Amino acid sequence: MNKYLSECGIASRRKSEELILQGRVSVNGYPVIDLATQIDPDKDIVQLDGEKIKSAKKLYFLLHKPKGVITSTMDEKNRKTVVDLINTREKIFPVGRLDYNTTGVLLLTNDGEFTNFITHPRNKIPREYYATLNKPLEEDDKNQLLKAIYLDGKKGKFNELTFTSTSNHKHVRVVTVEGRNHFVKNMFSALGYFVSKLERKSFGPFDVKDIPAGAYRPLTEKEIKSFYKKYA
């Protein structure tokens, strides 16, 4: 059931599970709370909060997220969200999140299966970041970040960590397959560094080299197929 909801663009598979367990989903008029419920999309009527769910065309957008924008579908403080930057009437949601002042690659879609695949740790999709630190990164700390740091009892590491300037070791390039919230900032913070600027340069094969900040472009079916071919 949660897979069907995510395929219809309602939400990611995990969020769809929450909707089902909250009793907000019904099949043929009867509430369903069993995640294993099987349905036939051609025969069964599936509703969310009493409204019929319709299969949606899969949409994928590659946004160059600017500073000062919330990575969410809405904001209780009425601040601008990344969804506000995309010109579409379809219900879409961001893939993962970037902090308010973090910039760079952000994907938005209505495809919950795609979201689940690209963000799941087992698929090891690389994220590349450029970070500016409050002080030069020491070589011992650099090695430690490549080896292992424990955050909230869970081990994490950078797959790659290099300096982007030979003369100023406050500027670094990071590659990680981790998708935990604030992961890059928290890794540096664990060793006494503060990240004053952070930009995501790429997420898997997707980058925004030719997209100005605040602008976006749709991803093609060919690009999505190529992505799955490379990482699936």
User: Which tens digits make up the pLDDT trace of 63-118?
Assistant: 999 999 999 999 999 999 999 999 998 889 999 999 999 999 999 999 988 999 99
99 is catalytic: yes
Return the CATH architecture of domain 126-203. Answer: 2-Layer Sandwich (3.30)
Rounded CA-CA distance 220/11 in Å is 21
Q: For residue 146, give both structure tokens.
A: 């490549």
Rounded CA-CA distance 95/114 in Å is 9
> Torsion-angle region of residue 41: left (phi > 0), alpha (psi -120 to 50) or beta?
alpha
Name the residue ranges covered by the structural domains of the chain.
2-52, 60-121+207-231, 126-203
- In contact, 170 and 134? CB cutoff 8 Å: yes
Residue 135 burial (CB < 10 Å; 0-12/13-18/19+)? exposed
CATH for 60-121+207-231, options being 3.90.1150.10, 3.30.1220.10, 3.40.50.300, 3.30.70.580 = 3.30.70.580
| 164 compared with 57, residue with greater pLDDT | 164
Q: Which of 42, 75, 99, 207 is catalytic?
A: 99
Pick from 15-19, 62-66, 135-139: least confident = 15-19
Number of neighbours of residue 111 by Cβ within 10 angstroms: 24
pTM of the predicted structure, to 2 decimals: 0.79
How far is residue 46 from each of residues 13, 34, 35, 187, measured CA to CA in Å?
Answer: 16, 14, 14, 43
Q: 181: which DSSP letter?
A: T
Q: For residue 9, give both structure tokens.
A: 């663009």
* Per-residue model confidence as pLDDT tens digits over 153-165: 999 999 999 999 9
Reported CATH class of domain 2-52: alpha beta
Query: Is 60-121+207-231 in the same CATH topology as 2-52?
Result: no
Q: 123: which DSSP letter?
A: G
Give the CA angle between residues 9, 10, 12 to the nearest 5°: 85
